[in-house]
Structure 1
Amino acid sequence: MKTLFNLISFILLLFVIFPAFGQINEKFPTVETEKVTGEIVEIPSAFAGKFILIGVGTSKKAEDQLQTWQNPLYQKFVAKTGLMDDMFNVELCFLPLFTGASQLAKDKVIEKIQENNEALVIDNVYVYAGNREPFTAIGIDDRSEPYFYLLDKSGTIVWTASGGFKQKYFDQIEEILTR
């Protein structure tokens, strides 16, 4: 009986863990986005040959958690304020998704971002409006959480997380970048 319980527990654990790690070694979907400046950019091919950290948000609730990442990411990968941060060459991409009826709000959100005038936000926001399917294929299914993907130089997902920022995520990312 105990063995059966352990087996069932293990299987349930796999179902809980699998969604978080199922996208590793998959290609990030190629999508056309729009920068706040109006420039059209194809993600991730515009960053070919570079590591890129993409934060994807699909709702206001996800946006609040996404913002917990902004300052730490800026300090680490843009301002490079840490002792060893100069050794990391990672492009940042904040990718709000507008799918279905929410596509109507895209222009209003872009205006709001333009009013913000923070360099990190303006320079690193790529807005997607279109079909949701490319993103469900890589596990984006909970609209209340942001999703983060570290892509290698070929656009392959090598790390993923969801939710608010945690310091341990930097440790995991640094380990990948220093291999």
Structure 2
Amino acid sequence: MKKVISILIVTLFFCFSQEANAQVGSAFPDMEAESLTNEFVDLPSDISGKYSLIGLAYSKKAEDYLKGWFEPVYNQFIYKNPNPGPFDFSFDINTYFVPMFTGAKRPAYKKVMNKLKKTIDQRMQPNVLFYKGTLKEYKDALNFDGKDLPYFYVLNPEGKIVYTTSGRYTQRKMQEITDAVRSAMELE
């Protein structure tokens, strides 16, 4: 009975979410990216097996908004409290922020990467991935059209999108992401 109620809640949550797009339920497209620690990650194949949160940005303005998500996402999903309290809920999910270097921006890839290595907290560096390549297949598959916005995707362990949102950080959006992850994990 509890599982049926959880399924209904998740279904209603996704149906009535203003941010949910048509791509919910589809597979996240393959993407090879490089972390600030110079490790290559193939999304979603290298991160399969557990839930993931992926943030994408493909313009300078969107990248600036993406950075506004770093601290709250780090605190919610990445940081592991060494002395958790009785009411702390710990998440075990993959979390990545991905600036996308496409078109004329591709030559700036390494320069920007080296600059960010010096400015981004070392604890966050494994979670910041750089993509260099084309944009069209991602725009088509992920239905993003506002170049000045970052886009966020919650993936299930099989790499399918279970929730999506976009834009600047707000507490409401962060809570919706947290609720989506928690609800999806409870269904397992």
Q: Which band: TM-score by shorter chain?
A: 0.7 to 0.9
Distance between the aligned counterparts of 2:80 and 2:171, measured in 1? 16
Query: Quick one: which amino acid aligns to residue 107 of structure 1?
Result: K
Contact 1:76/1:85 (CA < 8 Å) preserved in 2? no
In structure 1, the partner of 2:93 is 90
- SS of 2:107's equivalent in the other structure is helix
1:130 aligned residue (114, 133, 137) = 133
In structure 2, the partner of 1:146 is 150
Distance between the aligned counterparts of 2:92 and 2:166, measured in 1? 22
Query: Quick one: which amino acid aligns to residue 39 of structure 2?
Result: E
Q: CA deviation at 1:39?
A: 2.2
Give me the CA root mean square deviation.
1.9
Unmatched segments (≥5 aa) in structure 2: 1-17
Mean alpha-carbon deviation: is it higher for 126-135 or for 72-81? Answer: 72-81
In structure 1, the partner of 2:78 is 78
Contact 2:21/2:143 (CA < 8 Å) preserved in 1? no
1:90–1:68 CA distance, 2 compared to 1 (3 A): same
In structure 1, the partner of 2:68 is 68
Equivalent pairs: percent with the same residue?
36
Contact 2:20/2:163 (CA < 8 Å) preserved in 1? no
Mean alpha-carbon deviation: is it higher for 167-176 or for 119-128? Answer: 167-176
* Structure 1 residues 11-160: aligned runs within 5 Å: 20-80=20-80, 83-86=87-90, 88-136=91-139, 137-160=141-164
Q: CA deviation at 1:141?
A: 2.0
Contact 2:52/2:154 (CA < 8 Å) preserved in 1? yes
Unmatched segments (≥5 aa) in structure 1: 1-16
Distance between the aligned counterparts of 1:20 and 1:154, measured in 2? 19
1:80–1:165 CA distance, 2 compared to 1 (3 A): farther
